[in-house]
Amino acid sequence: MKEPTCIYMDFDITGTSSLLFCIGGPYGHGRQLRERANISIKLSSLVLNHQVALVVLMEQLYSFCS
């Protein structure tokens, strides 16, 4: 798993045209989705509910863009 900041830097450097973030449920994502993903990131070592995970992700994106 990569740190979110590294992902955003790779995105900026490679010129990738789109990113998709999938916030998993209490048991994570299914095997098929995990296998299909190019990269997987971990926002926290804690278990976060959807609302908190979204806030953490938005904060990370805001920090990167500002």
Question: How many domains in the chain?
Answer: 1
Query: What's the domain range around 28?
Result: 4-65
Give per-residue pLDDT as tens, 28-52.
888 999 888 877 877 888 888 888 9
CA-to-CA dists, residue 51 to 14, 22, 47, 54, angstroms: 30, 13, 12, 5
Distance CA 60, CA 35 (A): 24
E strands present in 1-66: none
Give per-residue pLDDT as tens, 8-26.
556 666 666 677 888 888 7
